[in-house]
Amino acid sequence: MFIVFISTFMAITINPHIIFAADLDRLKGEKVKLTNEQNAILYYLNNTREEIDRIKHDLLSLESKINILENQIKNLELNIKKIEIELKNTIKILNEKAIELYKRKNNSFFQAVISPKDIITFFKNMNLFGYMMKQDSEAINNYIETKEELIETKLTLEKNHEELNSYRDQYNSTHNSLLIKEAEYEKRLEEIKIQVAKLENNLKEIEERIKKIQLQYPNLKIVDGYRVLATGYCPCPICCGKYSSGYTAIGLKAGYGVIAVDPKFIPLRTKILIPGYGVAIAGDTGKKIRNNHIDIGFDDHSDALRYGVRFIYIYEIGK
Ligand SMILES: [Zn+2]
């Protein structure tokens, strides 16, 4: 009896199926966690990259606007210079003419116009005089027009300068935010490199372990584990009181290999593997055994006491 007990116990505690189930659960959890982390970082990076692309696009359109404005300003400045030279020349010519006319006030020209030798000369002179007057008035009109044009051009130039300055401000703030985004991007990139290296190492490790176990145990069966509160009992009156008949609720011999369960949590007659204990049948019930609490059967009262109270993982391995 003792020999059988030991050999069953040994065979089960080294059962590779159980080790595999627990490890696989843990590694699967790790893989899910790391994959989620990686996805979150990738999502962030994707967003940052899109934002950077948008900002770059904004910068390009700002740059082209600034270029156009700068060319417009250059042309306006050239125009203003040209107009100013024209105005200077017009004023110079008008001045010269005025001085000339003043000088000639008493000379032969006026005399000739006012008192001609004959009527033909008079009309000739009058025509000449009229022609000169017409030319001067055209020059004056031209001067006025050109001056108005200059004022308008200067206003346009001022407006363009203001616009250019606002674009430059926009450009600078956009460029700054781009630099900040790029720094963030670089930082996250370094982080994800470390994360991905970690993930790849872990996954490689998981795959290697699974491969190794599968090679060793081709008919591997993965079982689910439950976390339960475990206590120990034996068939004695201290443990069972008035139920210390030596038999369990379903008529099995009470002791090692039988556990008391809440049938709503673990159906009766289910085969349960308990690491460090062995295989047991869910073959008993108890008033105090509710939900995920199991009472593990022992042949000896001192063994039951020694087991104490603990949280453990158990595995369902059939009926
Ligand atoms: Zn007992």
- pLDDT of 137 > 90? The answer is no
Report the separation in Å between the CA atom of 293 and the middle of ligand 1, taken as the mean of its atom positions. Answer: 18
Task: Give the separation between CA 194 and CA 151, rounded to whole angstroms.
Answer: 65
pLDDT of residue 268: 95
pLDDT of residue 260: 97
pLDDT classification of 15: cutoffs 50, 70, 90: very low
pLDDT classification of 53: cutoffs 50, 70, 90: confident
Report the separation in Å between the CA atom of 236 and the middle of ligand 1, taken as the mean of its atom positions. Answer: 4
pLDDT classification of 216: cutoffs 50, 70, 90: low
Please identify which residue in the block is written with the tokens 């007659």.
Answer: 269
CATH architecture, domain 34-216: Orthogonal Bundle (1.10)
Please indicate whether residue 194 or residue 266 has the higher confidence score (pLDDT). Answer: 266
Report the separation in Å between the CA atom of 240 and the middle of ligand 1, taken as the mean of its atom positions. Answer: 7
Share of the chain above pLDDT 90, in %: 21
49: enclosing H helix or E strand: helix 16-103
Phi, psi of 173, rounded to the nearest 5 degrees? -70, -40
Query: Where are the extended beta strands (E) located within the chain?
Result: 225-233, 258-260, 271-274, 278-284, 293-297, 309-318
pTM of the model: 0.43
Report the separation in Å between the CA atom of 305 and the middle of ligand 1, taken as the mean of its atom positions. Answer: 8
Report the separation in Å between the CA atom of 225 and the middle of ligand 1, taken as the mean of its atom positions. Answer: 28
Report the separation in Å between the CA atom of 261 and the middle of ligand 1, taken as the mean of its atom positions. Answer: 17
pLDDT of residue 75: 86
pLDDT of residue 5: 37
Q: Among 76-90, 158-172, 215-229, whose mean pLDDT is lowest?
A: 215-229
What is the domain partition of the chain in residue ranges?
34-216, 223-318
Report the separation in Å between the CA atom of 224 and the middle of ligand 1, taken as the mean of its atom positions. Answer: 30
- pLDDT of 19 > 70? The answer is no
Phi, psi of 228, rounded to the nearest 5 degrees? -135, 160
pLDDT of residue 21: 58
The string of pLDDT tens digits covering residues 248-287 is 999 999 999 999 999 999 999 998 888 789 889 999 999 8
Query: Where are the extended beta strands (E) located within 3-132?
Result: none
Report the separation in Å between the CA atom of 59 and the middle of ligand 1, taken as the mean of its atom positions. Answer: 83
- Cβ-based neighbours of 280, under 8 Å, separated by 6 or more: 257, 258, 259, 271, 272, 273, 274, 296, 297
pLDDT classification of 2: cutoffs 50, 70, 90: very low
- Please compute Rg for the chain using Cα positions: 52
- pLDDT of 173 > 60? The answer is yes
The string of pLDDT tens digits covering residues 21-46 is 566 666 667 767 777 777 777 787 78
Token output for 76: 């306006």
CB contact at 8 A, 199 and 39: no
Report the separation in Å between the CA atom of 14 and the middle of ligand 1, taken as the mean of its atom positions. Answer: 28
Q: What is the mean pLDDT of the chain?
A: 78
Burial (0-12, 13-18, 19+ Cβ within 10 Å), 20? buried
Report the separation in Å between the CA atom of 186 and the middle of ligand 1, taken as the mean of its atom positions. Answer: 66
pLDDT classification of 4: cutoffs 50, 70, 90: very low
Is residue 268 classed as helix, strand or coil in its secondary structure? coil
pLDDT of residue 52: 77
- pLDDT of 6 > 50? The answer is no
The superfamily (CATH) of domain 223-318 is RlpA-like domain (2.40.40.10)
State which residues have CB under 5 angstroms from ligand 1, the bound ion.
Answer: 234, 236, 238-239, 301
pLDDT classification of 234: cutoffs 50, 70, 90: very high
Report the separation in Å between the CA atom of 245 and the middle of ligand 1, taken as the mean of its atom positions. Answer: 12
Burial (0-12, 13-18, 19+ Cβ within 10 Å), 266? buried
| Region 89-118 average pLDDT | 71
Please identify which residue in the block is written with the tokens 């453990």.
Answer: 312
Report the separation in Å between the CA atom of 12 and the middle of ligand 1, taken as the mean of its atom positions. Answer: 25
| Region 71-89 average pLDDT | 83
Report the separation in Å between the CA atom of 254 and the middle of ligand 1, taken as the mean of its atom positions. Answer: 11
Task: Give the separation between CA 238 and CA 141, rounded to whole angstroms.
Answer: 128
Domains 34-216 and 223-318 fall in the same CATH topology: no
246: enclosing H helix or E strand: none
Task: Give the separation between CA 9 and CA 124, rounded to whole angstroms.
Answer: 144
258-260 vs 278-284, strand pairing mode? parallel
pLDDT classification of 112: cutoffs 50, 70, 90: low
Task: Give the separation between CA 152 and CA 70, rounded to whole angstroms.
Answer: 18
pLDDT of residue 221: 54
Q: Among 118-132, 201-215, 294-308, whose mean pLDDT is lowest?
A: 201-215
Task: Give the separation between CA 133 and CA 279, rounded to whole angstroms.
Answer: 129
Q: Which of 244, 234, 228, 243 is nearest to 303 (CA)?
A: 234
Token output for 191: 């982080």
- Cβ-based neighbours of 142, under 8 Å, separated by 6 or more: 90
